Amino acid sequence: MGAPAAPALATAPAAPASASASAPPAAAPAVPPVATLEPVPAAPAEPPGSSPRDEQPSGPAPATGAVAADAAALLASRPLIVPVAGVPPSALTDMFDDARGGRRHEAIDILAPTGTKVFAVDDGTVAKLFTSKPGGLTVYQFDPQGRLAYYYAHLDRYAEGLKEGMTLRRGDLVGYVGTSGNAGNTPHLHFAVFRLGPERRWWEGDPVNPYPALRQARPAG
């Protein structure tokens, strides 16, 4: 036949997406935790937007006086359990004031093999599940009145089904001991307590030494 091929239909050029109408939303402001864990190289002490006004109702004094005493008394009034399975209170060491990477530790480290169960020290709610460079896999739990935050860090993994907003009972499983974050080669639970401000921000609070309260706590499990 030899009929000339029909002229190909001109294919319309792909229309460029006109006007990117849906620009990606600006990233929500990251809120790093105030938690001072192990060595925190060049970490900002405060998250952006934090205001110093929840420190003290009046007076410039740091939270080392009446406020700290109040927070310690509040913590002491809570019936706690030791958060790590198999660790008796007598095995705990006060390391709140230890220097870690140029900062005060402001927490207690409880050594246990990877995979050891970590329990809620108190009743309350899961305020935040957060992953940070220093803390690794962490849980922030509030006490029932939202006055204290309990912070569990370096977890290997969370308890199955753990969710933000859920209610915990003292002794409920929250996760497992690990080395996430900057725990190094020593599996341990880094446990800290904060006195929350009136706004109850999980990343903001005055550190309270957990040691005296844990020494009087019941063993877990």
Site string for Zn ion, 143-182 (x = CB under 5 A): ----------------------------------------
Instruction: Pick one of 54, 106, 109, 143: the residue that binds Zn ion (CB under 5 A).
Output: 109
Residue nearest to Zn ion (CB): 190
Between 55 and 98, name the residue whose CB sits nearer to Zn ion.
Answer: 98
Between 35 and 54, name the residue whose CB sits nearer to Zn ion.
Answer: 35
Minimum distance from residue 202 beta carbon to Zn ion (Å) = 18
Number of other residues whose CB lies within 10 A of the CB of residue 49: 9
Q: Residues 59, 64, 65, 68: what is their CA dihedral angle, to the nearest 10 degrees?
A: 110
- In order, the DSSP letters of 123-172 are SEEEEEEEEETTTEEEEEEE-TTSSEEEEEEEEEEEPTT--TT-EE-TT-
Instruction: Pick one of 190, 201, 203, 208: the residue that binds Zn ion (CB under 5 A).
Output: 190
205: tokens are 């609070």
Minimum distance from residue 135 beta carbon to Zn ion (Å) = 9
Minimum distance from residue 138 beta carbon to Zn ion (Å) = 12
CA distance 119 to 85: 7
Q: Which of 39, 79, 51 is closest to 214 using CA atoms?
A: 79
Site string for Zn ion, 40-79 (x = CB under 5 A): ----------------------------------------
CA distance 200 to 163: 18
Q: Which stretch binds Zn ion (CB under 5 A): 61-69, 105-113, 136-144, 160-168?
A: 105-113
Minimum distance from residue 109 beta carbon to Zn ion (Å) = 4
> Looking at the DSSP assignment, which residues form a beta bridge with residue 178?
188
Instruction: Give the footprint of Zn ion on this chain (CB under 5 A).
Output: 107, 109, 190
